[in-house]
Structure formats: C-alpha cells, structure tokens
Structure 1
Amino acid sequence: MKNQPSRRQFLGATAALVSGAVLSTNNVFGAPAYIRNLGKPNSLINGVQIGAITYSFRDMPDQSAEATLKYVLDSGISAIELMGGPAESFAGAPKNTVNMQTVFPLMRKRREKQELTADENKMLDEAEAQMKAYRQEIAKWRLSAPMSKFEQMRKMYNQAGVQIYAFKPDTFNVQSTDAEIEYGLKAAKLLGANQVTLEHPGNDAHTLRLGTLAQKQGMKVAYHGHEQQTPTFWDTALAQSPANMLNLDLGHFVAAGNTDPLGFVKLKHDRIASMHIKDRQTPEHEKGNLPWGQGDTPLLQVLKLMRDQKYTFPATVELEYKIPAGSTSVAEVKKCLDYCRNALS
C-alpha cells in the first residue's frame, strides 16, 4: 500500500514527536521515565559523571544560552560546568565588546609563557584594558541583576536533559566586593550548581574570604590550577574552610611534572569537587596538549579508578587541543565523550 509509511518513517516520526514533548514538559501525559528521557543526552557512564566545561565551545560563533545548550546536547553531554557569559547574557547583562574567541588563545600563550609577537602583545594589552572597563560596568549590573532569570535558565537546561553542576562567572576576583561574590554564589545555586569554580588566586586571605562566604550559602568553591599545581597547592585553602575544594586539572597536573597523578586523586578524592580532563604530555615530552590517547595523562586509569572506587565528583571534558581541519569543538567533545564511554565500558 503506497500511502502507508514505512516502519523506519513511522519510528522516526514517533521519536520526533516524543522528543518535542520531552523538551516542552517533564510530564508527558503520565508516560514512564524511559519515554520522558527519550532523546535526552546521558553522559553518566557506569556511575561516572562525564561533563564538559562550556569553555570547550568557545570557537562557536553564537555564545548565547540557547546556542550553548544546543552545543552541549549535540555533543551528548548531560552535565556541565557553565561559564559566566551565556548565563549572564541570558539574564540581561551588558554586552562584552571584546572578541574572546581571539583573546582566549593569546591569554593562554601569555599564561604559558609562550612568545607573543609585538602585534599580539598590543592586541592583548588593548583587550585587557577594554575588559577592565567592562568588568566595572558589569559589576554595577550584578548588584541589581534579575535573579529569577538564572532559575529560568536552569529549568530550560534541565528540561532538555542537562544539569549544571558548576558555575564559573568572573565574580570571585580578589578585587570583587562581598556583594559581587554573594551574587555569584546565589546565581550558581539558582542554576542548580553545587559549586563555583575559579582560578586559584594565590592569595590566602582571599581563599579564606571565599570559603567563609560560600559556607554561609551552602556552596563549594573549587579552585582550578594550571602548571603551578603541586600535591600541596591547595593545602592552605582546604584547611581554611570545608567549603574550599579542588577543581583539579589532571592534564595540567601531568604537564607540571607531577609523577603520581593517580595517587594524588586517591589522596584528595574527598576534597575534589570536580576534575578537568585533557591529555597533556610530561615536561620531557614538551607538555603538548593532544587529542585524547596521544599524550601522557593517565585518562583511562583515572576514569576506571573513579568507576571502581565510586567517586562521585564529575570528570569535566575541557577541550584545549587543536581542532582538526574540517571539525568543530562540538564534534571533538563528542569524541572525548566516546573515549570516556569506551574506557568505562
């Protein structure tokens, strides 16, 4: 019968209808959970939550909350560490005129003490001056920001199947006021996060302040590190407050020359709030940041350790290797997730 749809067409149409219903409501006319979750991502693999920091999608042209959600969904990720930009723009923050897609690579080069050309130094200096002025503008906005917008964004992400476990806005600097810090903590809580993340400030008074303010809000502060990470890097902050935690970066830890990353994870697992994963080389191999499986970082071993020891902190994909020609960050994050799925199968 020519007018009858094929089995494949019928199943495809049914899946599309159910997926649309899932995105519109969590209660699909009493449908069982497996139907409500049809079409949603699931990167919880044998008890290990694989997440991604949305910084991984920094090369994508649209950095709105809605576009970022699509990148996350297309990569198959169901839990994220959210950068401040998409959330604050969704809440109505003033627009940053600095092209961060251009600036991020230069910031990384300067941080890693790579040589910059005169033009690159000039561009970075000008961008930093513009960002300083922007930080002053957005600091004023944050004091009267419509906080209900963060709850609205959480609902949008959750209905699509994505949980936000960490939030990384630019509100926790040494020069930030207590009011700005409290704003960032409250926004994180409304987004559904249990932690905020930031670069370790290297300032003991500031980590004490952050830990104290976070504890009052029932939140965690997870400090990230690069090649300054050592086994004792976080000790002072951890002693200051139970709210102070690690946002360990396993790849940078290896590139810094630390020889027992697995032993360190075992030692500190109860104070790790989240862990970035990438594949970097040791100093002997020039510290390269490579596609997964080509570097010296024990990714397979740490993922299996997390599975076998039932560690509950998320492993966060941070895409920093060079994206191959013809590919995108979304496709590469999906490859990283597939790597994790194979490791944990």
Structure 2
Amino acid sequence: MKNRREFLIKSALGVGGLITAPSWLHGAPAIIKSFNKPNSLINGVQIGTITYSYRSMPDQSLEANLKYILDSGISAVELMGEPVEYFAGMPTPEFDRRRGFQLGWKQRSGESLSSDEQAEWTELRKEMDAYGKQVAEWRSNVDFKKFEQVKKMFKDAGVGIYAFKPNAFNQSNSDAEIAYGMKAAKILGASHVTLEHPDDDAHTLRLGKLGEKHKMGIGYHGHEQQTFTFWDTALEQSSKNGLNFDSGHYVAAGHTDMMELIQKQNKHIYSMHIKDRQAPANGKGNLPWGQGDTPLKELLTMMRDKKFKFPATIELEYEVPANSDAVAEVQKCLEYCRKALG
C-alpha cells in the first residue's frame, strides 16, 4: 500500500524533487483528488460557461456536454435545462423546437411573419402547447434521484453547477412546475435559476415570493432591452430576485455606464454573461473576443480587484469558424480571461 501511494503521488505531480518535502506529504490526498480536473477560478474570479455555448456540437446529451465543459477547461457552469431533464427522463418533442423558437423570437421582436410563416407558427403553437402539458405531467412525477446523480457526475469531474435554466419559470407554468425547477436547481447545487426577464411585474413578484419559499435565487437575463434601471422593480419586490446580467447585450444596446451598473448592483448579481459585442455605431455584431466594444478586460479586472463573488459566464455567440468548433472557441475565451486576469 505504501508503494502504491508513493506511485500515485509521483504520477499526480510528476516532480520527483518534491517527494521528500514534509509539508507536501500532508497535502498529497487533496492533490491526487484534484489531479487532471479543470480549474477556471482565476485570481479569485470564477469563470464559467453556459451549456448553450455548445449548441452547435453534434451530441447534445448531458454526458457529451460534460465532456465539452471539461475539454474547455471550465470548472463551473450554468446548465441549460434540456440536457439535464432529458437525462432525467423528460419526454422528447416530436416537432421542430428550434423552428418554433425562431418564429416565436421573430414575432416577439416585432417582425412581421409571412402568411406561410404565420400558418406554420399556428401549427407549431398547437404542438408546443400539447408538449408543454406532457412535460408538466412528467415534472409532477419526476424522480429527483436523477438530479442527485447529475450533481455527483459533475462534482466527481470537478465541475460545480452554479445556475440552472430549465423552461419552467414562464407565466404559463404553474406554481408546481416553478417549485419543481427550483427544487431541481437546489439538488444540483445551484445558488440560482435563470430565465429571460418576463417584462411582467406581476410575474417577477410571483417568482420572487416562490424563490423566498423555496430558498432559491432568481437571476433575470436581459438582451438589448437592458437599462440601468431594468431590474429595479424586481429587486424591490423580493430579496431573491437578482440579475443574470449580460455585458455584451448591454453594449449592443448603446449604453456606456456598464461599469457603474455592475458596481451598484454587484450584491444583486447572481451571475453575468460575458461576450464581445459591438456598439450600435459599429453594427452590434457578436465578434471573437478582443475585436468588439465590450470592455471585457476592464470588467474582469474590476471583478478581481473589488473581489466581486458572482461568476462570469462565457456565452459563445459569435460564429464558430469553419476550421474550429465550440469547444476550441470556449477555450480561446477562457484563455482571454486568463491573460486579462493574470
């Protein structure tokens, strides 16, 4: 056993000269336990990613997503709902969900649907409504042991789960479904759930009160509708309401007071998405990091210097080059963070 232990220690470190150091020997079990695991906590700033970043990868299973995270060098994550819920047994849809999201987003953005698109959207809505009822029934009888299994799987791999984003917190979802989503998040180890800001004061009040009941934070995400006062009403309604701030979208909206907003709201920010977008004068594009107008380096160094505790979530939204893939691009984003925080 003694020889085996020495072999493991030497293999884990690969530095024979340290073997004789007494202080090192006391830390050997911890070193072995963390060997070959990712670490994206950089000078006090937790860099994570959202699994949405890997949407272009061919395999969207939970196991594949975990491998993408590990290959990216990421040690903390915001999990989208679908990979987790499918792993837990949620029924799979028989319609084109992506097309439904495209048409729904187009309509919500104020764009007109063509007559063919409107007919397609009408049929998709019927299928989506029927599927929503099927999912709600599944959620009411779910075996939460599957979520315990997910937490262990990620923990054993060295990845913490700080946020969970299932499609369970909309106005159309029942209190029971919302409670399900919050319970699942708690089991996963998340401090908060995330969702798009509903632009509905009654609903943010409802979610905040349910968050208080279930002891779960709610981080509201925004796109270009974000402003300096965007979250004020939700924050006044409940101590559990908070921000899932998006730095890139804020810049694309034309605002120049992002650093002041983050300093003001840092205690209410559960997590923050980071990406490099252009200001309106430059086209609002999503670009490889360092090419846009988001002050990423300044933002990250402020988090480091002021010891802000919320994680910075890499959200890969720029076009993946033909000779690359999402994992390689998330690696590049993480390396950008390492250099900025070095």
TM-score, normalised relative to structure 2:
0.88
The aligned residue for residue 306 of structure 2 is 309
Kindly tell me: are residues 299 and 206 of structure 1, through their superposed partners in 2, closer, same or farther at Cα, counting changes over 3 Å? same
Whole-Å separation in 1 of the counterparts to 2:217 and 2:59: 30
TM-score, normalised relative to structure 1:
0.87
Correspondences of 1:265-284 after superposition (within 5 Å): 265-284=262-281
The aligned residue for residue 333 of structure 1 is 330
- Give the CA deviation at 1:135: 1.6
SS in 2 for 1:326: coil
Kindly tell me: are residues 173 and 255 of structure 1, through their superposed partners in 2, closer, same or farther at Cα, counting changes over 3 Å? same
The aligned residue for residue 152 of structure 1 is 149
Residue 88 of structure 1 aligns to which amino acid in structure 2?
E
Whole-Å separation in 2 of the counterparts to 1:133 and 1:223: 27
Q: In terms of mean alpha carbon deviation, does 305-314 or 130-139 score higher?
A: 130-139
- Give the CA deviation at 1:113: 5.9
SS in 1 for 2:332: helix
Whole-Å separation in 2 of the counterparts to 1:296 and 1:79: 26
Kindly tell me: are residues 258 and 42 of structure 1, through their superposed partners in 2, closer, same or farther at Cα, counting changes over 3 Å? same
What is the Cα-based RMSD across aligned positions, in Å?
2.3
The aligned residue for residue 38 of structure 1 is 35
The aligned residue for residue 93 of structure 2 is 96
Summarize deviations over 1:145-170 as a string: whole Å, max 9, x none.
00111011100000000110000000
SS in 2 for 1:41: coil
The aligned residue for residue 228 of structure 1 is 225
Matched, 1:189 2:186: yes
- Give the CA deviation at 1:335: 0.7
Residue 226 of structure 1 aligns to which amino acid in structure 2?
H
The aligned residue for residue 260 of structure 1 is 257
The aligned residue for residue 297 of structure 1 is 294
- Give the CA deviation at 1:71: 0.7
Verify the 8 A CA contact 1:197 1:222 in the aligned structure 2.
yes
Which segments of 5 or more consecutive residues in structure 2 lack a partner in the other structure? 1-6, 13-26
Whole-Å separation in 2 of the counterparts to 1:140 and 1:193: 24
Summarize deviations over 1:62-91 as a string: whole Å, max 9, x none.
211111101110111110000000110111
Summarize deviations over 1:181-234 as a string: whole Å, max 9, x none.
000000000001010000000111111110111111111000000010001110
Verify the 8 A CA contact 1:45 1:344 in the aligned structure 2.
yes
- Give the CA deviation at 1:129: 4.3
Which segments of 5 or more consecutive residues in structure 1 lack a partner in the other structure? 1-9, 16-29
The aligned residue for residue 70 of structure 2 is 73
The aligned residue for residue 243 of structure 2 is 246
Kindly tell me: are residues 319 and 146 of structure 1, through their superposed partners in 2, closer, same or farther at Cα, counting changes over 3 Å? same
Kindly tell me: are residues 328 and 116 of structure 1, through their superposed partners in 2, closer, same or farther at Cα, counting changes over 3 Å? farther
- Give the CA deviation at 1:268: 0.8
SS in 2 for 1:273: strand
Summarize deviations over 1:277-302 as a string: whole Å, max 9, x none.
00011111111111110100010000
The aligned residue for residue 27 of structure 1 is none
- Give the CA deviation at 1:102: 6.0
Report how many residues are paired. Answer: 321
Residue 310 of structure 2 aligns to which amino acid in structure 1?
F
Identity of aligned pairs, percent?
Answer: 60
- Give the CA deviation at 1:54: 0.4
Matched, 1:142 2:154: no
Kindly tell me: are residues 307 and 106 of structure 1, through their superposed partners in 2, closer, same or farther at Cα, counting changes over 3 Å? farther
The aligned residue for residue 84 of structure 1 is 81
Whole-Å separation in 1 of the counterparts to 2:112 and 2:161: 36
- Give the CA deviation at 1:132: 2.9
Kindly tell me: are residues 335 and 173 of structure 1, through their superposed partners in 2, closer, same or farther at Cα, counting changes over 3 Å? same
